[in-house]
Amino acid sequence: MTWIAKQQRGFERKDLPDAATKLSIMLTAIRRFLAEGYLFIGLDHFAREGDELAKALADRSLRRNFMGHTTQAGVDLVGFGPSAISELRASYAQSAREVPAWEAAVRERGVATMRGHRLSRADLERRWIINRILCLGEVRAREYEETFGRAFAEAYRPELDALSRAREDGLIESDPDGSFRTTPIGRLLVRTVAMAFDAYLSEQQKSGERMFSKTV
């Protein structure tokens, strides 16, 4: 994200391939990895059958943090260095982005935390849902209800309604209880599906400031 991280400016957005070319590259990579005996774990992850990531996908214990897919569920991730983000059990914290500011803060107080966010119950629920989508490619209403004690379809009716376009485009299949799963093509665009459950995205989009990389 060169518009945020100045140190990445060896290239700019105009130098990147368009969406169709990116998808073509990804499909080529998937075919090559599958031909060599790898499993497509999701997003940009592949693993041999028998690898811990493959086992976690099979037994539904696969998780995702800022570093990518992981088998370490419920483990705090502490980030060091400029712009590093720490993911704790019920909060996030980010260090100063610019190197001089980061160095000064470390010398002065030992840490360079620039900002943090304490997760509400709603945040924890949505993190669970998004994690399920990104890691398993689906949300099962019964699992949600067993975890949070309420009906999934009732709790997230607006979000499920917002997925109608994804359903029409063949990215997901859904059930009356709110459960849904991504189709094979939907697995390539899983971030787009997960965005429906991001409670903060609409406000960020209204600001007009690009904060994240593109889904494709």
Tens digit of pLDDT for each residue in 4-30?
A: 666 667 777 778 889 899 989 999 999
Q: Where a domain ends, among 119, 145, 179?
A: 119
Tell whether 201 and 153 lie within a shared domain: yes
What are the C-alpha distances in Å from 170 to residues 174, 186, 210?
11, 7, 28
Is 17 inside a domain boundary? no
Q: At what angle do helices 141-148 and 121-136 cross, to 10 degrees?
A: 150
Residue keyed to tokens 């995702």? 64
Question: Residue 33 burial (CB < 10 Å; 0-12/13-18/19+)?
Answer: middle
**Tens digits of per-residue pLDDT, 142-198?**
999 999 999 999 999 999 999 999 999 999 999 999 999 999 999 999 999 999 999
The verdict on residue 159 lying in a domain is yes
197 with 149, same domain: the answer is yes
User: Please, what is the average pLDDT of the chain?
Assistant: 90
Range scoring the smallest mean pLDDT among 66-80, 101-115, 178-192, 196-210: 196-210
Q: Which of 119, 138, 171 is the last residue of a domain?
A: 119
pLDDT at position 7, please? 66
Domain-located, residue 40? no
- Same domain, residue pair 97 and 140: no
| pLDDT tens per residue across span 94-107 | 999 899 999 999 99
**What is the amino acid identity at position 100?**
P
What is the H or E stretch that residue 162 is in? helix 157-162
Is 125 found in the same domain as 115? no
Please state the pTM of the whole predicted model.
0.85
Burial class (CB in 10 A: 0-12, 13-18, 19+), 74: exposed
Total number of domains constituting the chain: 2
- The answer to whether position 66 is within a domain reads no
Predicted pLDDT of residue 215: 57
Same domain? For 125 and 113 the reply is no
CATH number (domain holding residue 190): 1.10.10.920
| Residue 127 within any structural domain of the chain | yes
Domain co-membership, 109 together with 136:
no
Q: Which of 143, 142, 85, 141 lies closest to 116, judged by CA?
A: 85
Same domain, 108 and 125: no
**Which pairing describes strands 45-48 and 38-42: parallel, antiparallel, or unpaired?**
antiparallel
| Last residue within a domain, chosen from 119, 153, 177 | 119
The residue range of the domain holding 144 is 121-207
Residue 125 shares a structural domain with residue 176:
yes
Supply the pLDDT for residue 73: 78
Token pair, residue 58, equals: 């099979």
- The pair of structure tokens assigned to 156 is 């997230």
Over residues 116-137, mean pLDDT: 96
